[in-house]
A and B are shown apart, each in its own frame.
Chain A
Amino acid sequence: MRTCQQLALAISGAVAVAVAACADDGGGRQRAPTAVAPAIRITGSDTMVNLVQAFAESYRMVRPEVSIQVAGGGSGVGIAGLIEGILEIAAAGRAMTAGERDVARDRHGTAPREFVVALDALAVYVHPSNPLRQFYVDELAEIYGEGGTIVRWSQLGIANPRCPSDKIVRLGRQNSSGTYAYFREAVLGPGRDYKLGSIDQNGSRDVVTLLSRTPCAVGYSGMAFAFEGVRAVAIAASRQSAAVPPIAATARDGSYVLARPLYFYTPAEPAGPTRAFIEWVRSAAGQEIVTRLGFVGVAPAMPADGR
């Protein structure tokens, strides 16, 4: 029967594809780099995911035989993966908590190692048509925090021209995000939760994109995500201090109150390709990428001898 033969051909074709894909497991090692047996799996912060992907892409020119796999999901995802032991490096926009470090130490027998790979100024953005020029930290806490009383732009003393409802629409991140956790700790303070009903966006860029279309909104995201559609606002730490804009200089010297380090965590002391990669990231070559993507570089502390 012809259709039987066609079916047989189709099945053998599918089987051939399957076998070839499996066979590539072995054959690939002799040839050009493949995605087989990744040497380094990096998962975590959405703030850093573009940066890490840029690292991976550039490192391929330096060490083509090392394959790197990048995934996002938020700092919480990376740290969870580190605890599970399914990755080599967790990228995090916040420090690991003591509880997380304990669990990791129990799981792996040794405490996780922390490396600062870049600095970020967590910026608060508004729509360009919004006349607001600066925020006090306590105002931000009243806007975002539970029980906070500021819900309208007029309460901040300004008239937001393109926002007829005068409502403050809070844009934020989902709770796996290190940005979310860092903002909560730095702005709301320990022991205070977010007010429910904020728009919890999936990625750092989502926040600024949505903000550029929503005049009523305020949002927080990494300084690297600024673009013409939004305006970063200067932040004053208290009523007595001056408002500081989120730029590289203020992030580096610490005068910007929401400056935070961006971390790589490894389950134990890194070795082999992972160690070489981290050293490369902290070297001038890696830090050049950091500044190119809009973050702030750190001074290299490890000698570049991994090559």
Chain B
Amino acid sequence: MKRIAHALDAASEPIVEAVIRLCGWSAIGLVVAILAFVVAQGLPAFANGLDLREFLTSVNWRPDSPVKPQFGMLALLTGSLAVMLLAMAIAVPIGIAASIYISEYCAPSTRELLKIVIELLAAIPSVVWGFIGYAVLGPIIMRVTDAAIGINLLNGAIILALMSVPIIVSVGEDALRAVPDSYREAALALGASRWQVAWAVLLPGARNGLLAAVLLGVGRAIGETMAVLMATGHAVQIPHSLLDPVRTLTATIAAELGETVAGGTHYRVLFVLGSVLMLMSLAVNLTAEWIVHGIRGRDAA
């Protein structure tokens, strides 16, 4: 019996190893497949009536116009960038400050509590955030700021900030913890206060990890769909104030993909928008990866 078992083991080993290697390479295959597929579905649009210049510079997004379909994505791109930038302007200071507080200042019990709070915040689904933006934050914004309408750039940015902060805090806190204790001890021995330790020693030392945390938050903000679909007002225009409604690339795809006939120009242009999104998040991720990988080569601590 044992001999059969051993023989089986020996025989199956190469098969198992092959399966494992295949699974490992599947990640590469999938990324390539998705990128190639989305780009390939979108490219024929340029042959079919999508003018590159209009696409990049025009705000007119009228894909189903009976007069003449227009596919200008400038307003959509501006919307995506505006929401992301404003959300980061809110989330990054709060996130970094909170991660410093959690890592350096607070008592262990408070730290556990805050970590649970972060996990809970991260777990709330995006459609619930969108619902909150639409039903709760909108009326509040209207009451506080006298805005003409409550679902707008500000609303979307606040919701996105709440969604991005958990990533920034948890990755940032990991980065701060990765700085060796000897650094802290050396600074404390010189008489530094905890803030001075954080400011002069930890932030520079964890700079790359914190940058990566921020970039991950940026990636999340660019890619978010349902929350911005419901909370930004979904209006095709370049915002002139924080209280103007905007529309993002992601929301446009989500709202319009269903009505397109497969293979038609509108369908393909939506895939072009998807390619733009993919390239933006790929760029952000590669930058974050390069920053983090950079320190692994440089730091010998």
Contact = CB atoms under 8 A, between A and B. Distances in A.
Interface stretch (A187-195, A223-231, A278-286): A187-195
B59 A196 contact: yes
Interface residues of B, number: 34
A210 B148 contact: no
Contacts of B247: 200
Interface-central residue, B138, B139, B236, by most chain A CB under 10 Å: B236
B258 A77 contact: yes
A293 B233 CA distance: 28
A300 B111 CA distance: 69
B207 interface: no
B150 A214 contact: yes
Interface stretch (A55-63, A134-142, A169-177, A267-275): A169-177
Contact of B149 (A83, A192, A216): A216
Contact of A213 (B63, B65, B150, B229): B150
Contacts of B142: 213-214
A129 B261 CA distance: 42
Interface in A142-189: 163-165, 167, 169, 174-176, 181, 184-185
B234 interface: yes
A202 interface: yes
B138 to A, nearest CB: 7
Interface string A75-98: 011001001100000000000000
Contacts of A196: 59-62, 75, 235-237
Contacts of B258: 73-74, 76-77, 80, 176
Contacts of B260: 80
Given A80-B258, A193-B67, A200-B255, A174 B235 contact: no
A255 interface: no
B106 to A, nearest CB: 35
A73 B259 CA distance: 7
Contacts, number: 91
A202 B255 contact: yes
A84 B263 CA distance: 11
Interface string B78-117: 0000000000000000000000000000000000000000
B181 interface: no
Contacts of A40: none
Contacts of A194: 62
Contacts of A193: 62, 65, 67
Contact of B138 (A198, A202, A213): A213
A192 B234 contact: no
Interface in B26-75: 59-67, 75
Contacts of B150: 213-214
A199 B149 contact: yes
A175 B62 CA distance: 8
Interface of B: 59-67, 75, 138-139, 142, 146, 148-151, 229-230, 233-237, 245, 247, 255-256, 258-262
25 contacts: A73-B259, A74-B258, A76-B259, A80-B258, A174-B256, A175-B62, A175-B64, A176-B258, A191-B66, A191-B67, A192-B67, A193-B67, A196-B59, A196-B235, A196-B237, A197-B245, A199-B151, A199-B233, A199-B235, A199-B245, A200-B235, A201-B234, A214-B150, A216-B148, A216-B149
Given A193-B67, A199-B245, 19 more contacts: A76-B259, A77-B259, A83-B261, A165-B146, A169-B148, A175-B64, A175-B259, A184-B66, A193-B62, A194-B62, A196-B62, A196-B235, A198-B235, A199-B149, A199-B233, A200-B235, A213-B138, A214-B148, A216-B148
